[in-house]
Structures are given as C-alpha cells and as structure tokens.
Amino acid sequence: VKSEGRNSYQFFKPSIQRSAINRLSLESAMRKAIERDEFVLHYQPQVHTHTGEVLGMEALIRWHHPEKGMMPPFHFIPVAEETGLIAPIGEWVVHEACRQTKAWQNSGEAGLTGLKVAVNLSARQFSDRELIAKIRRALDSVGLNANALEMEITESIIMNDINSTIKQLELLSEMGLDLAIDDFGTGYSSLSYLKRFPINKLKIDKSFIDNVTNSNDDAKIVAAIIGLSHNLNLNVICEGVEDSDQHNWLKTHNCNQIQGYYFSKPLPADEFESYIRNKNRS
C-alpha cells in the first residue's frame, strides 16, 4: 500500500542503515585483516577415548583485532561467507594449518610429529571449483602429505546438492585427505547417502553430548550414531565433552575420539605445544 510505502522509509531507515554500515565496515576491516595478518588459528586437541593420546587437532580461526581484541569466529565468519571474503580467509586457514602441522612434524618432538589437522570448510569453499587446486597448492607449498589433513564439512552443506557433493567429496578423497561430517545429527542426512559418500568420520554435535549422561533420549541417539559409525566402518568423534562423566560414558559406549573443554580449550600454537609436552611428562 502506498501510504505504508511512504512511512516505511522513515520506519526502516535507521536500523537498516546501521546494520548496512556495520556490515560494510566489518567487510573492509576484514579485507585489511588479511593483508595485516590479523587472523590466527587456535588448535583444540582430538583425543583417543581409551588411551588419552592426542591424535590431532581442529584448527579454529580467531581474529586478533587491533582494537576489539580476540574475536571469535561467529562475529565475522557469517559475514565473510555472505560477502565472499571467506574465499581468501579460507585459503589462508588451509595454508596456515598445513604450515603449522608441517612445522610440528619437522620438530621431531614426541607427540607433535604424527598429528592430523582438521580444518572447517564453509559452504562457499566447498562449492568452489578451485577448491582442489587450492588445497593442493597449500599442501605442496609446505611439503605436507595429504594424509595429515582432514576437512570438516557440516551435514547441512553435504546434503545440499547430493550429486555435486558426491563428486566433490570423491575428488577430495582421491587426493588422500580425510573427510569428516561436522555437527552430525543436527541436519537431515539420509542414511542411504551416508554409505555412498567417501567419508572417514562422523563428528557428533555438542548438543547431544551436553545431556548424554542425563537424558535418556540423547543417550540413545549418541549410542545409535556410534553404532552406525562402527557398522559403516567410520571413525566417530564427539565434540563438546566437558566433564569426566561424559568421557566415561563415551568410553563405555566405544566412541573412538573425543574433543572438548574437559581435555582442553582451543589453544594458540605455543600453548598447544606446552599442552603436549606436559601430557608426555605426566
């Protein structure tokens, strides 16, 4: 209606303008952040449930903002994804994760040489035709073998367009990478497709682990996903493990790997090294 149209200008202007300006300034700040090398990766250990051995780590991005301090990914990854800036940022993440993992291999230090690094892939990155070439470039530039790299792709990305998903997953798998489905249980995976995907690992979402020791429903779901993984010969990891009760429950139910604050928060590279050294000493 016309009269509404006229009023809507005044009604909408302030909030729309504000958010557009916020987004714009965030976008230009992110462009500069790449040039100024303000992004850092933190690493969270992925632990063998029964032995406690650290098998690898998930690389998680942070933005060391000159004024705002350390910014967590939910502040900027969604805007990076919308604006397309996730492409250069994601390329940086893959390269930096590979570089660090190779440096730990080269250190020759016990506990640091055999680690596998897991990197998160966004929807845009996953559908990028150049993805394979970009990963190849990152691996080659630091001399890292593909079998030390794992890609985490969320369930919702994977179920988006099945035919192109299968092609892309096959290309990644042929490179020798490991593939993990992230946030498993929160999307709508068709179990029949799961068998056709060349994947290695299911990562059960934290929301199920939160109540695994006090909700019968969540316990049944987690037990079922662990059973499914074993039947399909997939590795299974739980994220968001925060206490020893959850750890013990997952031990009893034969989950292969766990990740969570109970072992460690995501750590800067030097603190991750100290974590490994302390663990080896005790």
Distance (Å, whole) CA 217 – CA 73: 31
Report residue 271: phi and psi, to 5°.
-75, -30
Q: Quick one: CA dihedral 193, 259, 151, 160, positive or negative? A: positive
Q: Token pair for residue 201?
A: 């690992």
- Cβ proximity of 28 and 83 under 8 Å: no
Residues in 103-122 at the binding interface with Ca ion, rule: CB under 5 A: 120
Using the minimum distance from each CB to ligand C2E, give the nearer residue, 150 or 183: 183
Q: From the list 77, 182, 258, 259, which residue makes contact with Ca ion (rule: CB under 5 A)?
A: 182
* Full DSSP string of 191-252: HHHHHHS---EEEE-HHHHTTTTT-HHHHHHHHHHHHHHHHTT-EEEE----SHHHHHHHHH
- The owner of tokens 């303008």 is 17
Q: From the list 46, 49, 100, 122, which residue makes contact with ligand C2E (rule: CB under 6 A)?
A: 122
Eight-state DSSP code of residue 110: T
Q: From the list 76, 100, 240, 258, which residue makes contact with ligand C2E (rule: CB under 6 A)?
A: 240
Residues 200-219, mask of contacts with Ca ion (x by CB under 5 A): -----xx-------------
Minimum CB separation of residue 258 from Ca ion in Å reads 13
Q: From the list 11, 12, 193, 261, which residue makes contact with ligand C2E (rule: CB under 6 A)?
A: 261
Q: From the list 91, 96, 178, 183, which residue makes contact with Ca ion (rule: CB under 5 A)?
A: 183
Least Cα distance to 61 among 137, 129, 152 occurs for 152
Minimum CB separation of residue 7 from Ca ion in Å reads 42
Residues 219-238, mask of contacts with ligand C2E (x by CB under 6 A): --------------------
Q: Which helix (H) or strand (E) holds 143?
A: none
Using the minimum distance from each CB to ligand C2E, give the nearer residue, 52 or 72: 72
Q: Token pair for residue 247?
A: 């750890």
Minimum CB separation of residue 14 from Ca ion in Å reads 34
Q: Which stretch binds Ca ion (CB under 5 A): 5-13, 102-110, 198-206, 216-224?
A: 198-206
Minimum CB separation of residue 80 from Ca ion in Å reads 16
Eight-state DSSP code of residue 52: -
* 129 burial via Cβ count (<10 Å: 0-12, 13-18, 19+): exposed
Amino acid at 209: I
Q: Token pair for residue 94?
A: 């893959």
Report residue 89: phi and psi, to 5°.
-65, -45
Minimum CB separation of residue 9 from Ca ion in Å reads 40
Q: Is 152 in the site for Ca ion (CB under 5 A)?
A: yes
Residues in 43-102 at the binding interface with ligand C2E, rule: CB under 6 A: 44, 60-61, 72-74, 77, 90, 93
Q: Is 114 in the site for ligand C2E (CB under 6 A)?
A: no
Which residues contact Ca ion (rule: CB under 5 A)?
120, 152, 182-183, 205-206, 239
Which residues contact ligand C2E (rule: CB under 6 A)?
44, 60-61, 72-74, 77, 90, 93, 120, 122, 182-183, 239-242, 260-261, 266
